[in-house]
Amino acid sequence: MTSNQQPLWRRAVAELLGTSLLVMIVVGSGIAAQQLSPHDVGLQLLQNSTATVLGLTVLILVLGPVSGAHFNPVVSLVDWILGRRSGTGLTLPELGTYVAAQTVGAISGSVIANAMFEVGTSISTKDRATTGHLLGEVVATAGLVLLIFSLAATKRGVLAAPAVGAYIGAAYWFTSSTSFANPAVTVGRIFSDTFAGIAPASVPGFVVAQLVGAAAGLGLLLILFPSAASTADDVVLPHSAGKASS
């Protein structure tokens, strides 16, 4: 940890809390949409995507200064990979801590969302792993990685909150998978048999597709923005601007 970074335990709490709240937003708004518009799937998706856009934007603004607001293992993984090139970004132990916190947070988010709407926590039966859906996850994740790291590389990280929120909102509609683009969130959504759920059998394919998408996004990033490695510490939101107290 450099002298101007938050301690790892605090960053882990921020990642756990942020990912938990993100999944609460996704699952909770999905349940609400089902209840409010039970016969209109298009309207359900509009309600679900609108809540996610607004909620994700706020979460990045609130927690970004603490941990960077990754809330996503592929973002943390790419941050670590880029950092190996320049001595920046996450270390391997920090990567493991971030991914563990994100995964625990995602599962807790589903459980809490279910409880808020008095829906029992159960394993989803919603199969999603078609060829089209998997291609959608590759595209959605590649675009997300390219967006986040290109903003950092061009010193526009201050735009990350609205830009990432807007991209995910758009990707709900232009990808067939509704843009999970996040292995932790994918795992968390197993635990809600509702509009936003995903069956366990679909999860491995989704995660592999997300990793392929992350690799594609990283490749495009290095082609378009060769200096991106030096700005890994500024992803998603710059979070090392001032010395933190322990």
Query: Which of 56, 45, 73, 39 has the alpha carbon at shortest distance from 174?
Result: 45
- Give the pLDDT of the chain (246 residues) as one tens digit per residue: 444 679 999 999 999 999 999 999 999 999 999 999 999 999 999 999 999 999 999 999 999 999 999 999 999 999 999 988 777 889 999 999 999 999 999 999 999 999 999 999 999 999 999 999 999 999 999 999 999 999 999 999 999 999 999 999 999 999 999 999 999 999 999 999 999 999 999 999 999 999 999 999 999 999 999 988 777 777 888 776 443 444
Tell me yes or no: is domain 8-228 CATH 1.20.1080.10.
yes
- CA pair distance 43, 41, nearest whole angstrom: 5
Selection from 189, 212, 89, 48 nearest residue 40 by Cα: 48
pLDDT at 244: 41
pTM over 0.85: yes
SS3 38: coil
Domain map of the chain by residue range?
A: 8-228
What single DSSP character describes residue 234? Answer: G
What gap in Å lies between CA 73 and CA 46, rounded to an integer? 26
Q: Which residues contact 131 (CB under 8 A, 6 or more apart)?
A: none
Q: Are 217 and 142 in contact (CB under 8 A)?
A: yes
Tokens of 46: 């509009």
